[in-house]
Amino acid sequence: MSKKIAHLITDLRTGGAETMLLKLVQAKTPEFSHSVVSLGGLGTIGPQLQRAGAMVIGVGLVAGKIPTFGALRLAKMLRDLNPDLIQGWMYHGNLAATFAHWFLRRPPKLLWTIRGSYDAAPHEKPLTRAVIRMGRVTSGRPSRTIYNSNEAKSQHLTAGFASRNADVIPNGFDLKRFHHNLDQRSIIRARLRLRDEEFVVGHIARVHPMKDQLSLLRACGLLVGRVPHLRVVAAGRDMERMGEVLPGALEPIRTLGSRLLLLPEQIDVAQLMPAFDAFVLSSAWGEGFPNVLGEAMATGVPCVATDIGDSREIVGDTGIIVPPRSPDQLALAILALASKGTGERAELSVRARRRVEKNYSLASVVRQYETIWNNEISQARA
């Protein structure tokens, strides 16, 4: 009989935590069955979780409410699901799981998952800051907390989160899905009307000040005339409306003109990554372990990333790390990659792929989660 894991997550729109949860469910290990309770709706990830065999419930909690409301309702859902273990995801999901856990007569083991670095807290909305403070106070409740980066763990422990049983499990990547694919590169470039000789800088993220697309646009604007055949392809939530939703973006967008291609959120970024010659993560704060870096590297795309979270550790010697909020340094790093010969970029491509194979394979990460689940459930049963 399979062990039942109930995941409680903030929402199921596309994001790093949601994607990692999807990967765990898609692993389809017979030993475990999964149910997912989303405080929001089903988003883009919910249907994929359902296709992977998980029961998915959208609570529809109104945005802007602290997730203590509805704790009794969540507790009833969890009683009906009767899990062997409850896994919270992200601040709101962790807190909601904790309050619901208090109302269970025979509560199973409770685990938390914290995905971002603590330096994002001052930039959050007042309500989210309140949730983080409440999380710090209740952080001794879960029997184990899983961080996705060493930097995130260090920052949270320094801020006063419980240090008992704090683990780090990095993100993992499906190396069959993300790989260097020349045929796919030609197909996607043809569909996007990108010429073979163009040097394509890629960026995938939601539009948000944390992601600092403004620095990316300004950096690429500095390269106009310096990088022959420069093209910039950016995809993500609200990307096509970036000029409207991101203050200050209109001027650099006009500077880049036809060199800039803005795409909506992509259901499968593995189909887009092979089109890039370089990938840029321009985040100013808040990253723990950026999924997109591992995805790009697994595809064989060299990366330029800001020194946020564990980016330096992930990229290693396969790309270039620059200070955050520095368009000049970002531009120089992109120029350095664009100036390399075909052979040098091919070597970086191979090294990037091998680094992911060695350190961040999905199979290894799934095993680490399942080992913790097994140990916690065994302790509870004993």
CB-based contact 50:274 (threshold 8 Å): no
How would CATH label the architecture of 182-359?
3-Layer(aba) Sandwich (3.40)
Strands 3-9 and 55-58: unpaired
Q: Let me know if 299 is exposed, middle or buried by CB neighbors in 10 A (0-12, 13-18, 19+).
A: buried
pTM above 0.85, yes or no: yes
What separation in angstroms does the CA of 335 have from each of 87, 144, 206, 304? 43, 44, 24, 10
Query: Does domain 3-172+361-381 correspond to CATH entry 3.20.20.30?
Result: no
Query: For the chain, which residues make up each domain, given as ranges?
Result: 3-172+361-381, 182-359
Other residues' Cβ atoms within 10 Å of the Cβ of residue 106: 7
For CA atoms 97, 99, 102, 105, give the dihedral sign.
negative
- On the question of a common fold for 3-172+361-381 and 182-359, the answer reads yes
- What is the residue-level pLDDT of the chain in tens, covering all 382 positions? 789 999 999 999 988 899 999 999 999 999 999 999 999 999 999 999 999 999 999 988 756 566 665 778 899 999 999 999 999 999 999 999 999 999 998 899 999 999 988 988 888 888 889 999 999 999 999 999 999 999 999 999 999 999 999 999 999 999 999 999 899 999 999 999 999 999 999 999 999 999 999 999 999 999 999 999 999 999 999 999 999 999 999 999 999 999 999 999 998 899 999 999 999 999 999 999 999 999 999 999 999 999 999 999 999 999 999 999 999 999 999 999 999 998 999 999 999 999 999 999 999 999 999 999 999 999 988 7
